[in-house]
Chains A and B, each alone.
Chain A
Amino acid sequence: MIEFRLPSLGADMDQGTLLEWAVKPGDAVKKGQILAVVDTSKAAIDVETWHEGTVGELLVSPGDKMPVGTVMAILLEPGESPSALPRKPAPPKPAGLPTRRRMVTPAARKLARERGIDLDSLAGTGPDGTVRLADIEQAAARKPGAASEDRSTDIRKTIGAAMARAKREIPHYYVAEPIPLRAALDWLTQANADRPMTERVLPAALLIRAVAVALKRFPELNGLFRNGEFEAAPAVHVGVAISLRQGGLVAPALLHADGKPTRQLMLELADLVKRCRAGSLRRAELSEPTITVTNLGDQGVAEVFGVIYPPQVALVGFGRIAEQAWAQDGTLVAMPVVTASLSADHRVSDGHRGALFLAELRELLQHPEELDR
C-alpha cells in the first residue's frame, strides 16, 4: 500500500487546494504520472506520483484545502488487491497547519452556508479576525472575474513572506562583473540563421546555460540551506524568474540545466514561460530550484541586486545587453556587454569564491559553441 501525499510545493507554500483528480479508483498509474491538480497561492500545479500501481482510494475531494504531507490517496502496489485497503482510512491530519477554530458570527455562518462560501478562504474583519456578516456579503458580491485579483494579492503575500525571510535570515553579499558578449551574440546570430523561427535561441537561454555549467565548479552556490546547514545539490536546477502579467513572479526550475545543450534549454524555457503564464506548472518545477537566475535586461536596467530565494543560497542576475565603449588590446571598440551579478549567502561562501564564479561565467561565454554540447 502506498500513501500518495501532498508534497512540498516550495519553501513558501505549506498548503494547497485540490482542484481535480486526474485519475479514479482502479486506474493503473506509472511513475511520473500526474494524479492531481492542486491550486496554491501561486499557480495550479500538476502533482505526480513516484510509484507504479493502481489507484485504490481517493481520500480528498476537489475543493478540499490541505496542508503539505496530507495523504491524498492510497495506491495499491502491483499485485496488491483492493482488500488490502484499510476499511475506514481515517483522514490523516499531519502536524503543521493547526485546525484553527474560526470565530464566525451566527448570521455570517448562516449566509455563508446559503451562498456556498468557504469560511476558511475569508479573512474576518471583526475583533480577533471574527468573520462578520459584512465579510460574507462582500465575498458573495465578488464576481468570478475577481478571482485573478485574489490571486495577485496571494502572490504578493507569498513573495513578501519569502523575501522577508531571505532578508531576515540570509547574510547576503553581492558581486558584479561586466561580460563582453561579442562572441556569444555572433555565434547565436549564425546558429539562428539556419534555424526555423520556432527553434531560434534567445541570449537568455545561453546565459542560463553558462550559469549552469559554471556552477559545476562552485558547488557552494548550488544547493539548499536547511536546518542550520548547507547541502550542495547533485544537479543544477535553475529557477528562472518569470514575471506574471497580472503582477508578481514565479521562479520555476529548468531541471538538470547542467546536462542539456543550449538549444534544448531554449525549448524548455519557452515551454516553461508559456505554462507559467497559463498557470500550469509541475510540482518539481516549483519545489526544486537549486539556484535562481533573473534576467531584467529586457526591462532595460543595467544590473540587478537580487534577493536570494530561501532555502537557496545564491541568485544570478543579468541586466540589459547593450553596446558600450570597450577597451581591448589597446583599442577602443563598440562591444555588446551584459553585467552579471551574484547575490550569495555568506553562511556558505565568500566574495572571493563569488568573484571566481563570475570570472568563470565570463570565460564560458567567450566560447558559446562549447555550451551547446
Chain B
Amino acid sequence: MTNADIRTVVLSTLLKIAPEVDPQLLRPDRPLRRQVDLDSMDWLNFLVALHEALKVDIPETDYARLVTLDDVVSYLEAATKR
C-alpha cells in the first residue's frame, strides 16, 4: 500500500468515529487529538479499527508516537511493510 492509500484508510476510519470532521480543515502535521474531539475510548476504537483494516498490530508502547495524522500514516506505512 502506498502512503496515499493508507492516508485514505486512516481518514475514512477517522470519519466513522467522528463524522463531524472536515478532512479539508485537518492540519496533518499538528496533534490530531487537539483538532478532533476524541476521548480515550474514541482513540482506542480508532486504533483498533486501523488494526482491523490494515492487519497491523500496534503495541501500546507505540501509542505515544502517534500524535499527528502524518505520524499515524507513516507509522502504519512502515508497519505494513514489516
Contacts and interface: CB of A to CB of B under 8 A. Distances in A.
Interface of A: 189, 192-193, 197-198, 200, 202-204, 243, 245, 269-270, 273-274, 298-299
A203 B20 contact: no
B22 interface: no
A193 B60 contact: yes
B49 to A, nearest CB: 10
A270 B47 contact: no
Interface of B: 18-20, 37-41, 44-45, 47-48, 51, 57-61
Contacts of A200: 44, 60
A245 B47 CA distance: 19
Nearest to A243: B39
Given A189-B60, A192-B60, A298-B40, A197 B47 contact: yes
A202 B41 contact: yes
B41 A299 contact: no
A159 B10 CA distance: 35
Given A245-B37, A274-B45, 20 more contacts: A189-B60, A193-B60, A197-B47, A197-B51, A197-B57, A197-B58, A200-B60, A202-B40, A202-B41, A202-B44, A203-B40, A243-B39, A245-B18, A245-B20, A269-B41, A270-B41, A270-B45, A273-B41, A298-B40, A299-B37
Q: Which of A197, A273, A299 has the most CB of B within 10 A?
A: A197
9 contacts: A197-B51, A197-B58, A204-B41, A245-B20, A269-B41, A270-B45, A298-B38, A298-B40, A299-B37
Contacts of A274: 45
Contacts of A203: 40
A200 to B, nearest CB: 6
Contacts of B38: 298
Contacts of A204: 40-41
A65 to B, nearest CB: 29
A204 B41 CA distance: 9
A71 to B, nearest CB: 39
B39 A298 contact: yes
A293 to B, nearest CB: 13
Contact of B48 (A198, A269, A298): A198
Contacts of A298: 38-40
Given A197-B51, A198-B48, A299 B39 contact: yes
B40 to A, nearest CB: 5
A286 B9 CA distance: 35
A213 B38 CA distance: 28
Contacts of B18: 245
A243 B37 CA distance: 10
A69 B38 CA distance: 39
Contacts of B51: 197-198
